[in-house]
A and B are shown apart, each in its own frame.
Chain A
Amino acid sequence: MYSDKVMEHFKNPKNTGEIPDADGVGTVGNPVCGDLMTMYIKVKDKRITDIKFKTFGCGAAIATSSMTTDMAKGKTLEEALKITRADVATSLGGLPPVKMHCSNLAADALHAAIKDYNKKQEASNEVKK
């Protein structure tokens, strides 16, 4: 059912875990639907220096989380925001059609983490002013 690449990321997922002092955190999904993901990012000079994830979900959910962190690490925030669900699926050698929507949420979690970071930046800038 899954490509070799998906299975490889499921077996040996990259960047699992939490970043306790993360600069941005994004959560998408819902345990009721069977998929929940949280992404943690560290940002320096508008570049993602570290990224980790935690995922509750199926094989595809774990593999897309892993692939997304791999793709985003080292990228600028602007570049990372351009990573789409489709890019993640393509990099994994494709996903079964039924998984394209329900389990392919990792790019959204990444974008949510970046938004969270931007919001925190604005807030701290306000304070400085």
Chain B
Amino acid sequence: MDYAAGKPVDPRAIEAMLPYMKTSYGNPSSLHVAGQEAKRALDEARRKVAELINAEKAESIIFTSGATESNNLAIKGAANRNKDRGTKIITSRVEHMSVVNPVKFLTTKGFEAVFLPVDKFGTLDLDSLQKELNDKTTLVSIVYANGEIGTIEPIREISKIVHTKNAFLHVDATVAAGQVPIDVKALGVDLLTISSNDMYGPKGVGALYVKDGIRIEPLLHGGGQEKGLRSGTENIPSIVAFGKAAEIVKQEMQTHLEKLTKLRDRLIEGLLKPLPYTFLNGHPTNRLPDNVSVRYSFIEGESMLLSLEMNGVSVSSGSACASKTLEPSHVLLATGLKHEEAHGSIMFSLGRENSLEDVEYVIGLMPNIIKRLRAMSPLTPAELKE
């Protein structure tokens, strides 16, 4: 149950990409037949990705190498292109590192950055957005839904506030696009990051939606592909598969959304009910259908992760001890958790392949795992000792 970290590629998307490696290997910039075949495939994929988010036209989609590049392109591209108008960037404390680090980088280049607080559920504080937004602000970047705790942000309300000033709104929809319906026109979004692998397409490809009329500058300069915003010969096979994956998730969204929401709610209920000092991270209802993040007091996440792994269940930990850095997740800390509370978190991310049986299996395993670790912990209060 760690589909957030990586998803299998839909066999239909694999099928779609194969001809573009074997026979139709033309360069879309060429005028001959093979090139024009590739150009048609590129246009079709662009149309499918545009339809998934209801973009005004296919040309608003810029293909990139993935969400990290899309976030960098949006943030550095918009900030630098509009530097003469202002140098203030606003973002939140629950962003992915591919938003946090480009913003931090820009602060070394003369920009000012503000990281807005969130409430205990991880929902953005709209009042502080209102307060921080000024005439110097050119860009606001907010995640659509957080990948660690699942909380969906009020993008429509955020957009209304942002557009009272002459600022652009970038939304990182990496983990949300393909899972929940997203309509960039209805939401009022100027730039939107989309990832292929998060919707069962291949890794190494993604897109940035750039609303008609929004001007940003490229990261890569070269042959001028993707309207000059992303030079380099297009990765046609992966883009075709991404387009196919986008088409499939759009068609099947309602089915998966309903199924996953049921599994998610059963898992949350089944994990929280039998054990005291167990809590849900993130918003109770306004959350992604695949995300279940819970925390157990008095024990540490990696030891839970290992215990589940021994029983054939893969999860992620909110604790530093399972990651490369030694700090617990900045997202969990932003929701007001103390370090030792954040350390006790684990995250399940459900996928299409998961069944109710899988969920019940995990629910059945958890009490013994938690009791064993709590029995070993010096922090466990006497009342919990059996």
Contacts and interface: CB of A to CB of B under 8 A. Distances in A.
B378 interface: yes
Interface string B307-340: 0001000000001111010101000000000111
A41 B328 CA distance: 32
A16 B328 CA distance: 26
Interface residues of A, number: 28
B299 interface: yes
12 contacts: A10-B303, A27-B378, A34-B319, A34-B321, A34-B326, A54-B377, A56-B379, A58-B319, A58-B321, A59-B303, A59-B306, A60-B321
A44 B139 CA distance: 70
B376 A55 contact: yes
B375 interface: yes
- Do most interface residues of chain B lie in helix, strand or loop, or is the interface mixed? helix
B290 interface: no
B64 to A, nearest CB: 31
B300 interface: yes
B320 A55 contact: no
A98 interface: yes
Given A33-B339, A55-B378, A99-B321, 15 more contacts: A2-B306, A7-B310, A10-B306, A31-B339, A31-B343, A32-B339, A34-B300, A34-B328, A35-B321, A54-B377, A55-B377, A56-B299, A56-B378, A60-B321, A103-B321
- Do most interface residues of chain A lie in helix, strand or loop, or is the interface mixed? mixed
B242 interface: no
Contacts of B326: 33-34, 98, 102
B351 to A, nearest CB: 23
A36 B378 contact: yes
Most central of B299, B303, B324, B338 by chain A CB within 10 Å: B303
Contacts of A33: 326, 339
A11 interface: yes
B209 interface: no
B18 to A, nearest CB: 35
A55 B376 CA distance: 6
Interface string A19-37: 0000000010001111111
Contacts of A34: 300, 319-321, 326, 328, 339-340, 343
A11 B303 CA distance: 10
A126 B319 CA distance: 46
Contacts of B378: 27, 36-38, 54-56
6 closest A-B pairs (Cβ-Cβ)?
A58-B321, A31-B340, A58-B302, A54-B378, A32-B339, A56-B377
Interface string B342-382: 01000000000000000000000000000000011111000
A104 to B, nearest CB: 12
B200 interface: no
B156 to A, nearest CB: 38
A74 interface: no
